[in-house]
Amino acid sequence: MAEETKVANPGIPRWLGHVALRVRDVDGAVDFYTKALGLKLKSRGGPIAFLGIRDDASHELALMPLPADAPPPDPQRVGMYHFSWEMDTFEALEALHQRLLDVGARIAGYSPATNSANVMFFDPEGNEVEAIWEPTEEELKRARDANGGETPKLVRAPGF
């Protein structure tokens, strides 16, 4: 008899597989996500672009075309507020933050949380995105020890 495969959590997802965004300018969105976030263009399926960073996934972000005159995201309507990219280290978050500033991304804000650091920003289509460093307790202790007891925070963009 073949060995039976056990599922650790039957009926419960492992993790979020990907996000699909509707955009008016797929090429412009690809340019932003590759330059600002460092994502790789994994493939194109006609007008749809698939981007990601994980070697074990076909993509984490799909960009789906809409007409150029499609209305932008509306924060007063039901739907996605934002999606988030997790960063391995505070230094990685700092580097991404600097790339966002370098490409002129519109910054939405920063969290006041004392156990993490983040930046909220908009892609060229107006979709809100977050990059966050959420360390383990051990990583947070090391970071605070190296930072005079404080949780490291990004140097905020002007106006924040």
Which range, 5-9, 76-80, 106-110, is most confident? 106-110
| Cα dihedral 124, 118, 97, 44 in deg (nearest 10) | -50
Instruction: Assess whether 89 and 144 both reside in one domain.
Output: yes
Q: Does 76 reside within a domain?
A: no
Instruction: Assess whether 58 and 97 both reside in one domain.
Output: no
Q: Does residue 147 surpass a pLDDT of 70?
A: yes
Q: Does residue 6 surpass a pLDDT of 80?
A: no
In angstroms, rounded to a whole number, what is the distance separating the alpha carbons of residues 93 and 96?
A: 5
Instruction: Assess whether 120 and 158 both reside in one domain.
Output: yes
How many domains, in total, are found in the chain? 2
Q: Does 8 reside within a domain?
A: no
Q: DSSP readout, 62-115?
A: EEEE--TTPPPP-TTSSS---EEEE-SSHHHHHHHHHHHHHTTPEEEE----SS
Q: Does 40 reside within a domain?
A: yes
Percent of the chain predicted with pLDDT > 90? 89
Q: Does residue 10 surpass a pLDDT of 90?
A: no
Q: Does 9 reside within a domain?
A: no
Instruction: Assess whether 56 and 96 both reside in one domain.
Output: no
Residue 114: both structure tokens together: 């004392």
Domain around 50: 16-68
pLDDT tens-digit map of 38-85: 999 999 999 999 999 999 999 999 999 999 999 999 999 999 999 999
